[in-house]
Structure formats: C-alpha cells, structure tokens
Amino acid sequence: MENVEKYIPVCECEGEDFMEIPLESDGTLSTATLSAYFPGVTGLKFRVDSYSPYRALRLYDGKFHAPEGSWAGHKFYCVHPKGDKRKLEETDTKPSKGYHSMNCTDLIVLGLPYQLSEIQMRDYFEQFGKLVMVQIKRDISGNSKGFGFIRYEDYSSQAKALGQRHYVNNRWVEVKIPASKEGYYSKVPHKIFVGRLTEDISEPDLSKYFSQYGEITDVFIPKPFRAFGFVTFNDASVAQSLCDEDHIVKGVSLHISEANPKSDQNRTFMYRINKLAANNSTWATY
C-alpha cells in the first residue's frame, strides 16, 4: 500500500516545537492553510542534511509542492518577510536599515488654485485619511500664495497621499515632503530591487504578485532586458519587510533587496538611451 503523507512538521523558527500541518488531497500544502497556523509567513525552507544550506520550497499557484516529489524525511521552517519578527522585537528595540518610527510629517502642497479655500482643500485630501492640519499660505492682503500644508493623523494616509497625483479644482497639484525633511525620510526606501528575473516575467506579473503585500505605485523592468526590475510601494515599511528574502514568481526564485537610491536617475538615463536608440537606427553602432 502506498504511503501518502497527510501532515508535515513545520516550525516557526529553529529551537521551537514543530506542529503538524495538514496537506491537501493532492499532496500539496496551500498557503491559506500555512497562514492560518503561522500568520505572516511568506514561505517555507528546509535542509537536505544538517550540513547543507537551506533550500526554499517551491510555490506554484498558491500551493507548496513536496521537494523532489516527497515530503518524507524533511522538517520545514517558516520564512518571514524579515526573518523572525517576534525575536527581533524581543532582542532589538532599535530601528535598523533606515527605519524610522513612521511618524507623520507636514506635507507641502504646491500649485494650489488661488481661489481654493481651506475647507475645499480639506474635503479633497481627507479622502486619503483624517487630517489634523490644513493650511493655505497667504500674503499680507490675505491672498493665497498658491501653496499650503497638510498633516495626516496616521502614516498610511500620508503614504497614500504621497503616492498619487492630485487634480484639485481643475488643476494638477503636487504633494511632497518639504525639502527640510526630505533627507530624513529619503533614507527609508519605498522601492525594492528584484533580481534574477527571466524574460517571461512581465511587469503585470510582478504587480500581481507583490500587490498582495501592499499598494504598489510603480513597476519597472528595464529594456533591453537586464534580468532585474524595481517595484515601488506606497508604504516604505512594506518595501523593507520584503528585502533580503527570496520570492517565487512563475516558478522562478527572485531575490529582493533594497533599491539603489540612484535608481531613479538610472531609470531616466536608460529611458533616454532607449528613446535615442528607437529614433536613430545608427545609434547602436556608436
């Protein structure tokens, strides 16, 4: 009689007790089942023997598949976005890798219509979250200077407002962190670098996969193909939680790390190069 595994041993981190997790009828482990027992887990890893490095478990279509076709003889450990977050909280209360406390700051709003009132300004920007301050700068005569400030009660609302373009009273306005505070907040990247891409993975594929972790504002894969890309999130904490881990997309193990701060400049440069190449067939021989 064929021995078919119905449960596999899973441990949240080394040194803790294992729990037997039920498998599906087809012999796979669903991500929904794993998340029910270990919330926040993004993957599973295992060792072939005590001397070998960890291997990631293959994930396809929302299901984990047995290594080499069999679960027997293996013990599995959970993979978190940034390792074991519980232990990090217990052993290190200091922020690392550019984390800040996710406190809100005043946001400057540029290009405001001169006839816009603070009530209208509040009505528009409160669609992203509760505001604790709205102010339009005015001259000594009381006329609007065309810019003002807003401040949100919580960081997620601030991130949403910063991640979008805004059309207020028939005019495009710009929302940004004031220059005096940009240096502080720019240390916390909203963008991740996605390595080991293959040519059959598209920007929509990356958007579909990473949108499960948070709201995405941009996905970019350079052309010509260079085996890497970038994903930008509204919330910097989401971007950082995904770094230094591997994620399986269309059967390919992609490595995630912090994006180079100069990547926006590189992207602009590559765009210009591609445009030149498209408009000038002799450019390639330069």
Task: Convert the pLDDT of each residue in 110-139 to its tens digit.
Answer: 889 999 999 999 999 999 999 999 999 988
Please check whether residue 69 lies inside any domain of the structure.
Answer: yes
Q: Is 236 exposed, middle or buried (0-12, 13-18, 19+ CB in 10 A)?
A: buried
pLDDT at 63: 85
Residues spanned by the domain of 248: 191-279
Please check whether residue 98 lies inside any domain of the structure.
Answer: no
Please check whether residue 137 lies inside any domain of the structure.
Answer: yes
Split into its structural domains, the chain has a count of: 3
Q: Which of 5-9, 13-17, 104-108, 207-211 has the lowest mean pLDDT?
A: 13-17
Domain shared by 179 and 218, yes or no: no
- Among the candidates 91, 119, 136, a domain finishes at 91
Q: Which of 47-51, 140-144, 242-246 has the lowest mean pLDDT?
A: 47-51
- Among the candidates 124, 159, 185, a domain finishes at 185
**In angstroms, how far is CA 87 from the centroid of its own chain?**
22
pLDDT at 158: 86
Mean pLDDT value of segment 234-245? 76
Give the confidence band of 102 by pLDDT, cuts at 50, 70, 90.
low
3-class DSSP assignment, residue 66: coil
- Among the candidates 185, 203, 223, a domain finishes at 185
Check if the beta carbon of residue 91 is closer than 8 Å to that of residue 58.
no
Please check whether residue 101 lies inside any domain of the structure.
Answer: no
Q: Is the pLDDT of residue 99 over 60?
A: no
Identify the H or E element spanning 32: helix 31-37
Identify the H or E element spanning 38: none
Q: In CATH, what number is assigned to the domain containing residue 155?
A: 3.30.70.330
CA gap 264, 281 in Å, rounded: 26
Domain shared by 22 and 44, yes or no: yes
**Is the peptide bond prior to 189 cis by the omega test (within 30 degrees of 0)?**
no
Please check whether residue 96 lies inside any domain of the structure.
Answer: no
Domain shared by 270 and 222, yes or no: yes
Mean pLDDT value of segment 221-243? 83
